[in-house]
Amino acid sequence: MSDEDDDIILSELDDEELVQQMFDDLYDGLKDEIMEGVNILLDRGWAPYRVLTDALVGGMKIVGDDFRDGILFVPEVLLAANAMKGGMSILKPLLAETGAPTIGKMVIGTVKGDIHDIGKNLVSMMMEGAGFEVVDLGINNPVEDYLDALDKEKADILGMSALLTTTMPYMKVVIDTLIEQGKRDDYIVLVGGAPLNEEFGKAIGADAYCRDAAVAVETAKTMVQRRHNRLSA
């Protein structure tokens, strides 16, 4: 960071410069600056949805790409996601009022017996950063918790995470229960976590195994798009 950066006054930038500056601030995980930028754009008459997509989602895409390419690492991405959260805290109530579209809705949680959540939190934040609505159930979720939430939230996607080889099989319990109830095809099921791999994802009947948060976002986007196309065809 050079000294000139300290002198940037966000309110003096025009819209385009401000959005570029917000991309940089998101990348650097500067929460206060992001919140200020969001408020300035809203004051200038930007619709909440435009602020979300152009400034925040646009900025998080750069973060996501660099994370995927190994330029950024988990701590930096968590900082960026936290800055994004600051901006979202202002936009969320406004988006709800205007009934703005979301790409899709995801219910995510770590499976029963497992209390690891860093990877899951990262996926939640990156999914929000991409414009999805995310309902995070936290850790140690039995099958009922997933099913109740999917139903109640009218979700499109179920995300399950496990970090222990002993809790991995529980993902199959959840998917099998969905099959028994005739609901498996209602949802896109994405699974992730260090001990998993592609073969395991296929074996338990998930739609996809996502090796990290960046892949989860790309996969979710593609699958939701495909689903919409199929439903409207």
Residue 97's pLDDT is 85
Residue 99's pLDDT is 78
The model carries a pTM of 0.82
DSSP label at residue 133 = E
d(CA 158, CA 170): 14
90/179 same-domain check: no
Find the domain containing 52 and state its range. Answer: 10-98
Using the structure block, give the residue that is written with the tokens 């200038």: 44
Using the predicted structure, report yes or no on whether residue 3 has a pLDDT greater than 50.
no
DSSP label at residue 233 = -
18: number of Cβ within 10 Å: 22
The answer to whether residue 113 sits within a structural domain is yes
Q: From the CA atom positions of the chain, what is the Rg in Å?
A: 19
70/88 same-domain check: yes
The answer to whether residue 4 sits within a structural domain is no
CATH number, domain containing residue 210 = 3.40.50.280
d(CA 111, CA 60): 27
122/32 same-domain check: no
88/185 same-domain check: no
19/60 same-domain check: yes
**Domain total for the chain?**
2
Chain centroid to Cα 100, Å, comes to 17
Joined together, the tokens standing for residue 37 give 């930028």
Where does a domain end: 80, 98, 116?
Answer: 98
218: number of Cβ within 10 Å: 16
Per residue in 4-57, pLDDT (tens digit) is 556 789 999 999 999 999 999 999 999 999 999 999 999 999 999 899 989 999
The answer to whether residue 5 sits within a structural domain is no
Joined together, the tokens standing for residue 69 give 């390419």
Where does a domain end: 98, 115, 148?
Answer: 98
Secondary structure of residue 70 in the 3-state scheme: coil
109/94 same-domain check: no
Whether residue 63 contacts residue 72, with contact meaning beta carbons closer than 8 Å, is answered with: yes
Residue 5's pLDDT is 54
Where does a domain end: 59, 77, 98?
Answer: 98
167/221 same-domain check: yes
Per residue in 175-226, pLDDT (tens digit) is 999 999 999 999 999 999 999 999 999 999 999 999 988 899 999 999 999 9
Burial of 105 per CB tally in 10 Å (0-12, 13-18, 19+): middle
59/115 same-domain check: no
Beta bridge partners of 109: 160
